[in-house]
Amino acid sequence: MNKTLVTLALALGIGSIASVHAQQAPAAPAINDAQIAHIAYTAGVIDISAAKQALKKSRNKDVRAFAEEMARDHAAVNVQALALVKKLGVTPENNPISESLSKGAAAEQKKLAALKGSAFDKAYVDNEVAYHKTVNTALSGTLIPSAQNAELKSLLETGLKLFQEHQMHAEHLAQNLN
């Protein structure tokens, strides 16, 4: 994994942050639903942005089809997330994890912007594999278990199933690009 992906992995490796926080304040969850909603929404926005970049730069039909799928699916999940937080009267809460994700994604997009052709395609798809692995680990290991609201938890579980499919699709695409 490159340095940016390591940063993303560390940022989403909130299980360790959760255990440290739990030692300091055992009665409170490590992250609250408002923070979880913001992290999940931010992760979706990041992948939509990456997909848009791929649609502008790539000429590979398979990469473009994958990017279209990422943009469509993550936008749909984010629409559901926004509707849920509105229904629940929850304001997504910015937090260090969301900020770290955004900062890491900006650096990755800048790196990808410098690439062209098959080098871009390979780097984009490799990043998508690593990103989905990281997000899926965070969802299953920290975000879903920490979610207190049943509807939020259900939305995260539905998202996890979809994002696991994305990871498999990205892995398959990466093999075909090699």
CATH of the domain at 156: 1.20.1260.10
Average model confidence (pLDDT) for the chain?
87
Q: 74 with 44: CB under 8 angstroms?
A: yes
In three-state secondary structure terms, 102 is helix
Question: Structural domain tally of the chain?
Answer: 1
Burial 45-60 (b: 16+ CB within 10 A, else e): bbbbbbbebbeebbeb
pLDDT for residue 24: 43
| pTM of the full structure | 0.83
As a 3-state breakdown, the chain gives helix, strand, coil percent values, each rounded to 5, of: 85, 0, 15
**What is the domain range of residue 170?**
3-177
pLDDT digits (tens, 9 = 90+) for 122-143: 999 999 999 999 999 999 999 9
